[in-house]
Structure 1
Amino acid sequence: MMRSASRLIVLIIAALPAAAVAQTLARYAIVGDGIPEPLTGQPGDPTRGRALVLARSSTCILCHFGPFPEARFQGDLAPSLAGAGSRSTPAQLRLRLVDASQVNPDTIMPSYYRIDGLTRVGSAWRDKPILSAEQIEDIVAYLATLRE
């Protein structure tokens, strides 16, 4: 099963459009189980974050499901995003988006903002993050609003 899931993630990543023109990644520090400071130096926009979560190109709802009644065919491979802001701090959410393997080395979740040390990356994605720093912050801002 894990091998099939890994193939699925590789295929999803290969199908995504580039997040932005090749960019220099923002520096960040992992403190405990999170990245406490926004990658952009300021909080993101939750409205843009919601749109990104629901966009098939971000892949969030291909694996996750949540309180999105208008979104058909939500995933069931990963935990629900409902209540994400109650279960996790913005710092924890940020680390999971930047590089979920820091939290769970066996995760099938892509590293959305990490480019080094990755294997099995499609040629279109080499040396590029899947999401920009601003997009990460927008998604963090939105997920932090999801409280139970």
Structure 2
Amino acid sequence: MRLTAITAALALMAGAANADSTVAPTSVSFDEYGAVEASLTGAPGDAANGKKIMTIRGKGNCIACHEVSALKDSPFHGEVGPMLDGIGEVRTAAELRGIVVNAKMTFPESVMPGFYKTTGFIRPGNGYTGKAAKEEDLTPILTAQEVEDVVAYLLTLTDS
């Protein structure tokens, strides 16, 4: 019984340590080319969960703009962004992380949304909604761990 309580306490402390090591959206550090070298969580990404996020509306829904042959069972692949087949051989984890976090840091003219961004949005306000624009930060589309999961999945997309 005592061992179970100690194990539970250690698990809670490990979870709290992981939460404390998560990089906040406003603290992400990009290099001069838009890559993000450091993991946002310090935990490895889960490629299986990343695959799901790629197809879930309201989350990544990457296939709305990108074609991915490995996700052919999911309908409605887009053609706005480049095909992602083989991307795991072309881009590093740091490059992919930077693009998922905020593609405009790598490709300034990109229409891809920043999936781990909370500030810097243009708010329509009165002209569109009839209400004043709110000034608070938005919630990121993906969590830090979900970004790591998507990066882990993208790294599996190789031609070999």
TM-score class, shorter: 0.7 to 0.9
Q: What TM-score do the two structures reach when normalised by structure 1?
A: 0.76
Partner deviation per Cα, 1:52-107 (whole Å, 9 max, x = no partner): 11223322111111121211111111101111101100000000010101011111
1:101 maps to what in 2? 104
- Is residue 70 from structure 1 mapped to residue 81 from structure 2 by the alignment? no
Does 2:56 match 1:45? Answer: no
Higher Cα radius of gyration: 2
**Matches of 2:38 and 2:79, distance apart in 1:** 30
Structure 1 gap segments, 5+ residues each? 1-23
> Identity across aligned pairs (percent)?
34
State the TM-score, normalizing by the size of structure 2. 0.71
Residues 97-134 of structure 1 show CA distances to partners (whole Å, capped at 9, x for unaligned) of 10101011111000111112121489899521111001
Separation in structure 1 between the aligned mates of residue 124 and residue 156 of structure 2, nearest angstrom? 32
Task: Give the superposed CA RMSD.
Answer: 2.4
User: Match of 2:61, as an amino acid?
Assistant: T
Q: Which runs of 5+ in 2 are unaligned?
A: 1-22, 126-132
Aligned length: 126
Higher RCO structure (Cα 8 Å, ≥6 apart): 1
